[in-house]
Structure 1
């Protein structure tokens, strides 16, 4: 068997995960990214893998069966309002929509498809941008997330492949659902670098959240302050990830690639540019080869400026996986720009950097000193565990 560098898991059917036309979570960004990569001739048809539907048994690796049934009933219009709210459904964040179980199960199945591509040796890496819904809990939807595909995938890798898994989350929002799912598990290490919960949902992810029982020391959080820019974010990310990988020595790395730390994002307060999204996959790729024989699974996540930011940021994950990042033309493809400029609410970027578009918020001075104090606190227990 010839192993591919990477597999790209995608289907237009995944666009069915849609709450309503006004909701900030819009999976049209999947199609925007897919078409950008096709215009760049960076994505061959023979490495595009359609996602499968996750089974109820697979979803139940993490979620309660009663919750799964509630999601099914809600999607059929058969769940009363009081019961729905108890399950986190029918809220402003997570409205009910038709066939929501099927749409959610397809996203979970996409991440499991990516897992099998890598763990069965068909690809070194796999990308499933439809996944990364990291706020879902065992019995409750939260923060736009119905089923937590990353948590399911991690438990699936443990069960079927006996893997020791490192989960890395660079979404601006704390990866709370994944952290709590494995808070007492010594075979799963979670690293979340996110905007402090002082200002932002879900309000968790402090440095003292370190795990419990046998899992103590394997939940690592590095909250950064509002208005953090590229230099600080990248330095914190690179320092933390290198130490965590060296400490934990995983069999496989799964990264959640939320694109909402960008300064255009309407829901967060961080100030990174596309330079951060060049750096994030570059180091993950390098360390996967150094420690995991290349085994790296990447999923999507947040990102609510779907026109200017998400397609570029997510394309860079794939271009890094396939060794094409350094071969990019300076300008985005004209055909892609022409097609989507008619629908975009903002002026589309012409280049891979942010040159031709004016920031919608003022540039802020970097809060470097605060971030590095936070980093030192977060890494202290890693070094302590290494000495034991």
Structure 2
């Protein structure tokens, strides 16, 4: 029987744990899942299935066998040789570094397989979105690239894929893996690489000679806020996904674009992130036959932001969006007080207005965000037969 939506979740996913001092603490996943339960999002049409550990064969879709051996050995003896991105402060070795990373890949692959095979219209993998991992090295807290694994499997099934990355940081690993493949449209809307890791993702980066226009990068100035961010997301996503005509949409919803995130400098509220989620759902319905796989990603304000942002995401995936003013359940707020001795937000909103003006209704050359949008549209739109100004 076709489910409206599916969530891939296992408590084992929290074993992806770099230690107490690391910003990517697994408590963000536990608090998100608990908030989903307390809000009642997991009731009804949303089916929950466990996250398996991805096989070596699936990981080798996008990672080298040599790199897999390095990660496995690191799990066994706690050490990694230089040159593979493991063992530094960003991506340290930990006790289950292979198994936990492979489970995240398995979570996202399971979500993609369920949607492609018709078991669900939409699916979410909130532990996924490890978009910095490269074929032969870890990077930026990411060991295995779950989105890359899932997209590679989808390509093997004959799919055309659109990948949208809304993390504050450039989706460099996914872009790199499909740089030469015109079947995959990768769109990344991120903080300008001159001001943020990983230092890539400029407007002129549009794909290789055999796949011009398949890579799309919108590099936004620091402190870009709701109206400008949403304007940028809509200005590239809707026309390019329409032109690409994908069979399925995969989106990464790193919520480190929030104004309180400690590792980035954008200023995007929970309300604007919810609006973007609804926009992505609509684009998937209109241009990808409703097939949508939604991933988590970055997000390091782990109490006030991540659980609310991803609870909204899963609710949108489930087809039952939460109203912004929905009260945060008191049971969850008590849990936060007991855990961290801080006061959690009282509602699922930051009290911000998520309305924005569409870019197609007028370009302002004096506005830095509009200039960033136009740079991307000029670099990419002609490769898709689109007009940078009119479409």
**TM-score, length-scaled by structure 1:** 0.93
SS at the partner of 2:123? strand
Per the TM alignment, residue 354 of structure 1 is displaced from its structure 2 partner at its CA by: 2.4
Partner of 2:361: none
Q: Tell me if structure 2 keeps the 8 A contact 1:217–1:382.
A: yes
Q: Tell me if structure 1 keeps the 8 A contact 2:3–2:121.
A: yes
CA-atom RMSD, angstroms? 1.8
1:50 aligns with 2:50: yes
Per the TM alignment, residue 344 of structure 1 is displaced from its structure 2 partner at its CA by: 2.8
Partner of 2:148: 151
Q: Tell me if structure 2 keeps the 8 A contact 1:72–1:99.
A: no
Q: Tell me if structure 2 keeps the 8 A contact 1:10–1:50.
A: yes
Counterpart CA distance in 2 for 1:287 and 1:78 is: 44
From 80, 85, 89, the equivalent of 2:86 is 89
Q: Tell me if structure 1 keeps the 8 A contact 2:78–2:95.
A: no
Partner of 2:65: 65
Q: Tell me if structure 1 keeps the 8 A contact 2:206–2:213.
A: yes
Counterpart CA distance in 2 for 1:286 and 1:268 is: 28
Per the TM alignment, residue 347 of structure 1 is displaced from its structure 2 partner at its CA by: 2.9
Per the TM alignment, residue 382 of structure 1 is displaced from its structure 2 partner at its CA by: 3.6
Q: Tell me if structure 2 keeps the 8 A contact 1:278–1:313.
A: yes
Gaps of 5+ in 1: 357-366
Per the TM alignment, residue 86 of structure 1 is displaced from its structure 2 partner at its CA by: 1.2
Q: Tell me if structure 2 keeps the 8 A contact 1:240–1:379.
A: yes
Partner of 1:125: 122
Q: Tell me if structure 1 keeps the 8 A contact 2:327–2:346.
A: yes
Which shifted more, 368-377 or 64-73? 368-377
SS at the partner of 2:188? strand
Deviations 1:16-35 (A, max 9, x none): 00011110011221111111
Q: Tell me if structure 2 keeps the 8 A contact 1:114–1:126.
A: yes
Partner of 2:378: 380
Per the TM alignment, residue 355 of structure 1 is displaced from its structure 2 partner at its CA by: 5.2
SS at the partner of 1:104? helix
1:220 aligns with 2:216: yes
Partner of 2:204: 208
Q: Equivalent residues in 2 for 1:162-201 (5 A)?
A: 162-201=158-197
From 254, 261, 268, the equivalent of 1:265 is 261
Per the TM alignment, residue 78 of structure 1 is displaced from its structure 2 partner at its CA by: 5.8
Return closer, same or farther for 1:53/1:351 CA change in 2, 3 Å cut-off.
same
SS at the partner of 2:316? helix
Deviations 1:321-371 (A, max 9, x none): 223225566311011111112223643111112259xxxxxxxxxx98111
1:301 aligns with 2:297: yes
SS at the partner of 2:113? helix
Deviations 1:161-212 (A, max 9, x none): 2110000000000000011111111100100000001111000000010001
Counterpart CA distance in 2 for 1:208 and 1:9 is: 36
**TM-score, length-scaled by structure 2:** 0.92
Partner of 1:113: 110
Partner of 1:370: 368
Return closer, same or farther for 1:309/1:327 CA change in 2, 3 Å cut-off.
closer
Deviations 1:30-87 (A, max 9, x none): 11111111111110387111011100010000101010000010111164x5x2x211
Per the TM alignment, residue 386 of structure 1 is displaced from its structure 2 partner at its CA by: 3.0
Partner of 2:229: 233
* Residues paired across the two proteins, number: 373
Partner of 1:98: 95
Q: Equivalent residues in 2 for 1:212-361 (5 A)?
A: 212-327=208-323, 330-344=326-340, 346-354=342-350
Counterpart CA distance in 2 for 1:329 and 1:9 is: 27
1:139 aligns with 2:136: yes
